[in-house]
Amino acid sequence: MSTAYLSLGSNLGDRLRNLRDAIAQLEAAHSHVSNISPVYESTPVGETREPVPAYLNCAVRIETSLRPSDLLAFTQSVERAGGREPSFRWGPRTIDIDILLYDSVTLDSPDLTIPHSRLNERRFALRTLADIAPGLVLPDGTRLEERLSDPVVAAQDIGLWPTESDESRD
C-alpha cells in the first residue's frame, strides 16, 4: 500500500456535507482513509472572471493500492458523484479533490503533477497537510512549517471551521 495526501475543497451547496460525503466515498476496497484534518474556511486563491464563494477545505491521508494515475481517475469519479460540473479555472465547485503527495513520487505529466504544482503557494493545503502530517518534509527538502511561514503564504486568509461540538455550545 502507498500513502497519499489529498486536499478536498467545496464552495457550493452544503460545503461541509460535500466534504464528508467525498471522504466517505474515498473509503473503498483499494483505499483507506487513515487521517482527516480539521476543516478550514478559506478565501479563494487565484483571479477569476466572476466572484467565487469561500471554500471549506480539509486534507486526508489515505493508504491505497492504486497507482497515481488510477488514484486520479478514482478521485475524479468521486468529484463527479459529488455533483462537480465543468467550470472556469478556479471557479466554484461542489467538491474538488487534489492529489498533493503520493509516497515520495515526483511526477509531471499532462494529466497529473505530484507534488501538486501549487502546493507550496496555498496556505489552506499546507495548513491542513501539516495538521495530519506534522514535521513532514516535502520532496524538495522543505519542511511544511517553512512553507507556512512564507509571508505570501501566511497572508492568505483561512480560519478554523467550528466542529459540531463547538456549534452545539453556542
* High-pLDDT (> 90) share of the chain, %: 76
Amino acid identity at 160 = L
More confident residue, 29 or 99: 99
Quick one: average pLDDT of 12-39?
Answer: 96
* Closest listed residue to residue 37, CA positions, set 124, 135, 158: 124
pLDDT > 60? residue 58: yes
Q: How large is the greatest C-alpha to C-alpha distance in the chain, in angstroms? A: 48
Task: State how far the alpha carbon of 94 is from the alpha carbons of 50, 57, 110, 125, in Å.
Answer: 17, 12, 24, 17
Q: Which residues are tagged catalytic?
A: 84, 93, 96, 98
Q: Give how far the C-alpha of residue 62 lies from the chain's centroid of Cα atoms, to the nearest Å.
A: 12
Q: What is the CATH number of the domain that holds 165?
A: 3.30.70.560
Q: Give how far the C-alpha of residue 89 lies from the chain's centroid of Cα atoms, to the nearest Å.
A: 16
DSSP-derived 3-state class of residue 35: strand
Q: Read off the pLDDT band of 170 (50, 70, 90).
A: very low
Q: How many CB atoms lie within 10 A of CB 124?
A: 25
Please state the domain count of the chain.
1
Give the pTM.
0.91
Q: How many CB atoms lie within 10 A of CB 68?
A: 19
Structural domain boundaries, residue 106: 2-169
